[in-house]
Structure 1
């Protein structure tokens, strides 16, 4: 699994260098965080691809292992005299190598200025930061909720890991659940 701080620093540095498209490592947490950034309007698109670029929009997305093709009906005895059987070719494209999959993000700018100015990690492997529902309500109300949780600024999103998955602060308040504070984006 790619570390969260790698994702945050790569996205923040790419915005500083005003890159249009970047590829980040593919993992379930990274996909969830990138989807939240897309839903909140910090990036203009999210696509799955490999190191050469995103997959085309009409290409099949492989989520699991390739299945074997269904057995084709055998030719009838009367058609056995033909040299080639009248069967369709059963080509199965193998799924891409999971180690080479990337998440491609199209970064968003407004008047040549980046939409995302800062993305930082709150909870680290050496210091996990958990917040209860009451603390999250204080953060949403722009009040400090302890030494590590500051109040939310205007335009800031807080991304949490909860029993319902990786969600944004607004969704956690709707679900009435606390969790680990992963990162913030402004």
Structure 2
């Protein structure tokens, strides 16, 4: 897990949403995929599709994943093309405003912030916990990397799981 690449991804998503792009791509890593799926589950992204250097066809973006067209061949991942694999993300907008207003890292590459359940509970309640400000705005989400994957802070409190605080999205 590289937080340097995640910092680039956070600023890229923030800039892409400000530029009103409907589709953007980021490098395909396991960590990025888990975080983007968590963002999609929270409602910040409309689609997350693994693909190559070219954008996927529009009909795959609009259809349900189980109803994809079987005639379109899926390019297998090989050692020659693994560096060109991308995650294609569909950005969302509400009333002409981007859903992702700001996305910033909490843990930095030089200082990773680990919290137990009580520290995460303080964040969810809007209080400061250590170096981290609490979630004070409606719709603000804080994501935590745990042993069971990347979870939103409220879900960590429900499951009583601590971990490394990754980023906040509002």
CA gap of 1:49–1:132, structure 2 versus 1, over 3 A, is: same
Q: Deviations over 1:129-149 (max 9, x none)?
A: 111111111111111112x21
1:149 aligns with 2:149: no
Question: Which residue of 132, 137, 146 corresponds with 2:116?
Answer: 132
* Cα distance in 2 between the residues matched to 1:95 and 1:61: 12
Instruction: Please say which structure displays the higher CA radius of gyration.
Output: 1
Query: Secondary structure of the equivalent of 1:184?
Result: strand
* Cα distance in 1 between the residues matched to 2:163 and 2:34: 15
RMSD: 2.0
Select the structure that is richer in helix.
2
Q: TM-score, normalised on structure 2?
A: 0.84
Question: Which residue of 29, 33, 36 corresponds with 2:35?
Answer: 33
Displacement of 1:61: 9.3
* Cα distance in 1 between the residues matched to 2:69 and 2:113: 41
- Runs of 4+ off more than 6 Å: none
Aligned residues: 155
* Cα distance in 2 between the residues matched to 1:99 and 1:157: 31
CA gap of 1:176–1:20, structure 2 versus 1, over 3 A, is: same
Q: Equivalent residue for 1:43?
A: 45
- Residues 53-92 of structure 1 mapped to structure 2, 5 A cutoff: 53-54=55-56, 56=60, 57-58=68-69
Q: Equivalent residue for 1:95?
A: 77
Q: TM-score, normalised on structure 1?
A: 0.77
Unaligned runs of 5+ in 2: 61-67
Displacement of 1:54: 2.5
Q: Equivalent residue for 2:166?
A: 182
* Cα distance in 2 between the residues matched to 1:104 and 1:38: 12
* Cα distance in 2 between the residues matched to 1:12 and 1:124: 17
Displacement of 1:94: 4.3
Displacement of 1:172: 1.1
